[in-house]
């Protein structure tokens, strides 16, 4: 009987140790998966940003001069959408990094919008009869 109770006691201890080890392995796996996801997210974001810069550069420089006014109007609309997204990003209760970046985005997109309207107005005034 004593062998049986000691075997049961050892089995319970072993089971508890296995549960503790399983929990530690889950924590390690979650931490590693989270770190790997963060690294790949940054790489994807930088890749998309770089490709967007190249595509934007080639699209703008391949546009004929007659289409620059509509292109300016479209970029003003896109900047307006950026302002809305930046306002959402900066609308947190505490002032942290995302709020600061949202504020900077609103500032520069606003400059882009107003500058675009001024340039568009000048372009359209060239087509008016004198």
Q: Cβ neighbours of residue 123 under 8 Å, at least 6 residues apart?
A: 68, 69, 72
Please, are residues 107 and 99 in contact by the beta-carbon 8 Å criterion?
no
Full-model pTM: 0.47
Closest CA to 120 of 84, 71, 86, 87: 71
Q: Are residues 95 and 118 in the same domain?
A: yes
Same domain? For 82 and 106 the reply is yes
**97 and 113 part of one domain:** yes
Domain that holds residue 100: 65-130
Q: Which of 62, 81, 97 is the last residue of a domain?
A: 62
Q: What does the alpha-carbon distance between residue 125 and residue 129 come to, in Å, rounded to a whole number?
A: 9
Give yes or no: residues 58 and 83 share one domain. no
Domains contained in the chain, number = 2
Cβ contact 106:83 at 8 Å: yes
pLDDT at residue 34 in the model = 64
Q: CA 95 to CA 107: how far, in whole Å?
A: 16
Say if residue 74 is in the same domain as residue 130: yes
Whether residues 81 and 104 fall in one domain: yes
43 shares a domain with 96: no
Last residue of a domain, which of 17, 38, 62?
62
pLDDT score recorded for residue 5: 78
Sequential DSSP letters for 19-44 = HHHHHHHHHHHHHHHHHHHHHHHHHH
Does residue 81 share a domain with residue 58? no
- pLDDT for position 95: 79
Taking only the tens of pLDDT, the chain with its 130 residues reads 577 777 778 778 878 888 887 888 777 777 766 666 666 678 888 899 899 888 888 887 887 877 777 777 777 788 888 888 888 877 777 878 878 888 888 888 888 888 888 887 887 788 877 6
- Asked whether residue 129 falls in the same domain as residue 69, the answer is yes
> What is the reported pLDDT for 66?
74
Tell me, yes or no, whether 86 and 98 share the same domain.
yes
């Amino acid at each position: 009987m004593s062998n049986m109770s000691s075997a049961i006691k050892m089995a319970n201890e072993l089971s508890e140790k296995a549960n503790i080890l399983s929990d530690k392995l889950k924590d390690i796996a979650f931490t590693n998966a989270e770190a790997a996801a963060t690294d790949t997210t940054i790489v994807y974001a930088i890749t998309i940003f770089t490709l967007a810069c190249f595509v934007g550069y080639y699209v703008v420089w391949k546009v004929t001069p007659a289409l620059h006014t509509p292109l300016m109007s479209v970029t003003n609309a896109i900047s307006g959408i950026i302002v809305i997204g930046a306002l959402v990003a900066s609308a947190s209760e505490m002032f942290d990094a995302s709020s600061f970046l949202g504020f900077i985005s609103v500032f520069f997109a606003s400059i882009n919008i107003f500058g675009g309207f001024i340039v568009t107005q000048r372009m359209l005034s060239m087509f008016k009869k004198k």
